[in-house]
Amino acid sequence: MAEQRIAMQNTDIWLRPDEDMEFMPILPLHDNDGENADDISIPDELPLIPLRNTVLFPGVVIPITVGRDKSIKAVNEAYKTDKMVGVLAQKDSNTEDPQPEDLVRIGTAAKILKLIKMPDGGTTVIIQGKCRFQLDAVTSEDPYFRGKITTLVEEVVTDDNQFDATISSLRDLSAQIIQLSPNIPSEASIILKNIENASFLVHFISSNMNAELKEKQELLETNDLRTRSEKLMHLLQRELQFAELKNKVTTKTKTELDKQQREYFLQQQLKSIKEELGGDTNDREVMDMKQKAEAKKWPQAAKDMFKKEIEKLERMHPSTPDYSIVYNHADLLLDLPWDEITVDNYDLRRAKKVLDADHYGMNKIKERIIEYLAVLKLKGDMKSPILCFVGPPGIGKTSLGRSIANAIGRKYVRLSLGGLHDESEIRGHRKTYIGAMPGRIVQQIRKVKSSNPVMILDEVDKVGKDQRGDPSSALLEVLDPEQNHSFYDNYLEMEYDLSKVLFIATANDITSIQPALRDRMEIIDLNGYAVKEKLEIAKRHLIPKQKEAHGLKDIKFVIGDGVIENVIENYTRESGVRELDRQLASIMRAMAKDYAMNGKVKASLRKSDIEKILGKPRYSNEIYKAAPVPGIAVGLAWTYVGGDILFIESVLSEGKGDLKLTGNLGNVMKESASTALTYLQANARKLGIDPATFQKMNVHIHVPEGAVPKDGPSAGITMLSSLASAFTGRKVRPYLGMTGEITLRGLVLPVGGIKEKVLAAKRAGLKELILCWQNEKDVQDINSDFIKGLKFHYVKTAQQVLEIALS
């Protein structure tokens, strides 16, 4: 075992020998103690102790651990006699068994101050250097090294200002190094201030400074004290530069390190608290996720990705920013119902019964759903159709989707697309973004826990488009049966099968849907309700709902059919039933007030009661009874909220034959007016009109409700009738409405939206309608009970129109 210097930072050594206890200072009691060989008798021959990794200087006290047998014997022998030994450094500190040639030639004679036997068999010796010596020869190698020496006398320097300045600089440099080095105790500065002997100060600093063994040995071998002090100054300046650089780096990173250490200690404390409470929450969560994954049915690709995410979580500390990102992604993978589907109910009679119970009418859609279920029942599996319900507001498109889900036994989820303008809402965001989320499609699938729900894409015609992308283009993949089996969500970062989802889109205006998207969907038109349909809907659904909503469920009173029809005809003008629902709610509130105040209500409501509750009728059919002056005709229009009635007014005034159009008309409607006027000019004599009139009179055509934009070709025959009435002075037949496009040749062409227009005419109280003969098939699709009392005139030419309208 090699001798090793025990690193000591304190100025005291606490010793506990067997015989007594004593407190021994690290410094000699006097600075000059042992500095001069004349003060103590140094034998010419001394036991030698090789030191592996330190150099002993005169006057300095150090403890050493003696482990080699030779060194132990030498120490024991010297301790019994004069306690003097010679201490030499090894040339190579790695040599375990040094030979005489492995020792340096200049060493320090030392006195053994204390000898301590250690429990492990080793010996600790506290020695104090006395003077330097030169080894002349090794006289014995067994049982320990002995050598013949020559002591080297230190020169005493007096009255040398340069030397004094050097010593002062050594004090200052040492003090600066102590101040910059956090590992050196502040007591070291006090020691330096109390050392008055210049020679000992040099030796003390040399012994304690951070320098190589060879550099310290070189200082010891330097005979001249001035030269030795100058060499020491160079070494201290180098150490000071290193300490300053180290302190600069430490100061630069201290703030960050302190913050990291603080967070680390807080995390460790938090971890300990969590363990005391039953384990780390994050670890338990990861374990729970792994257990759930074992029982989950999912594709191999999803399973592999989840495994990778869990491995990342186990390697990451919960405080790292990426931990929550990886955790949320793994949680999404685990929550998605990859291969989890609900079993469809193939009972067609039950499905039809459910559909009929929830919605009155809508036979076309109900038949389509029953057909889908029939094929699914026979084949067992098929790609779900992409249906699109198009119709005016308030007719039950969205609620029909829920009814379909109930009929076939699937889960229902609704996705509102109105005002959506970011493509990422459909496809999801990249998970590396702050606040990233999966797209709404995947979110809804995750919510319902089923891979084959009925998903309503509500208001698909109102999807926006801006610089952030076009969501309707993103929907192309979702609503394409050939592609949606591999729908890619940016957040999920893998494909998901949407082919089992029954998508049902709803829209008010099919022309607002992107053509490519429209081509992928099966369009099913939903028309507005007739009065009789609204009556049945009110009796079956609206009135019971409002009675329950207003606390009148158990209170008996009757609202007769005539009263309900009165509300429909005089207080609403709509294709759907939302306004009717609001009017019925007003009636129920009035009934609830009466019952709360009087404790009873009328057994049945009359029209007079309705007028008291709702006020005077808002709409009247009297305006259609007769046209007060020539030039006024009634047209039928289609809007996205359903059918409507349109007045067209024509007035002649003296002028040069100019045509003026007002009423916020679109280009197509303006062209229809020009076409009608040109037709009249070309056929003036047949119609009994003086051709010169067209040159003398200005024509002004106006369509009331000028704030509402109007366009389309369907008002062609209405404008023709209005102009013909104005030029001939003959009034248009009362209670007559018309719709159709005209050509310059006088042909009448078919137009769209016939059912909405016919039902609007019926609601308005019209009795006769003029339509193109090709629209007769559209009228036949309407339930005959809904149009009872309407007379239809099917025409092919403009001449036939005028014959009917002006008769």
> What is the distance between the alpha carbons of residues 687 and 724, in angstroms, rounded to a whole number?
8
Number of other residues whose CB lies within 10 A of the CB of residue 463: 25
**DSSP one-letter code for 753:** -
- Which residues, other chains included, contact 377 with Cβ-Cβ below 8 Å and sequence gap of 6+? 346, 348
d(C-alpha 417, C-alpha 460), whole Å: 6
**Nearest by Cα to 697 from 667, 656, 664, 738:** 656
Q: Return d(Cα 576, Cα 533) in angstroms, integer.
A: 10
Task: Give the DSSP per-residue string, 300-333.
Answer: HHHHHHHHHHHHHHHHS-TTSHHHHHHHHHHHHH
Tell me which long-range contacts 320-328 makes (C-beta under 8 A, separation of at least 24): 323/282, 325/431, 325/432, 325/436, 327/285, 328/431
Per the annotation, the verdict on 653 as an active-site residue is no
CA 530 from centroid of its chain's CA atoms: 48
CA distances from 724 to 425, 697, 716, 729 (A): 55, 14, 12, 8
**Helix, strand, or coil here: 555?**
coil
Assigned token pair, 196: 């008055």
Q: Encode 237-304 in three state secondary structure.
A: HHHHHHHHHHHHHHHHHHHHHHHHHHHHHHHHHHHHHHHHCCCCHHHHHHHHHHHHHHCCCCCHHHHH
Question: Of the candidates 116, 127, 108, 122, which has an alpha carbon nearest to the alpha carbon of residue 42?
Answer: 108
For the chain, how many helices (H) and strands (E)? 27, 27
**Residue 801: count of CB within 10 angstroms of its CB:** 25
What ranges make up the beta strands (E) of 526-671? 558-559, 604-605, 632-639, 642-654, 659-662
Six-digit token string for 403: 């009814």
CA distances from 447 to 205, 443, 450, 678 (A): 76, 6, 8, 62
Q: Which structure tokens are listed for 172?
A: 């200052």
* 3 state SS of 658: coil
Of how many residues is the chain composed? 807
Phi, psi (rounded to 5 degrees) for 609:
-65, -40
CB atoms within 10 A of CB 558: 9
List C-alpha distances in Å: 600 to 556, 591, 597: 10, 9, 8
Amino acid type, 215:
E
CA angle 605, 611, 612 (to 5 degrees): 85
Choice among 71, 384, 575, 714 that is catalytic = 714
What CA–CA distance (Å, rounded) separates 443 from 425?
A: 10
Q: How many CB atoms lie within 10 A of CB 171?
A: 15
Q: What is the DSSP string of 378-401?
A: HHS--PPP-EEEE--TTSSHHHHH
Contact present, 676 and 638 (Cβ < 8 Å): no
- To the query of whether residue 714 is one of the catalytic residues in this protein, the response is yes
Coil/strand/helix, residue 337: coil
Nearest CA-CA partner of 232 in 203, 258, 261: 203
- Catalytic positions, written as ranges: 714, 757
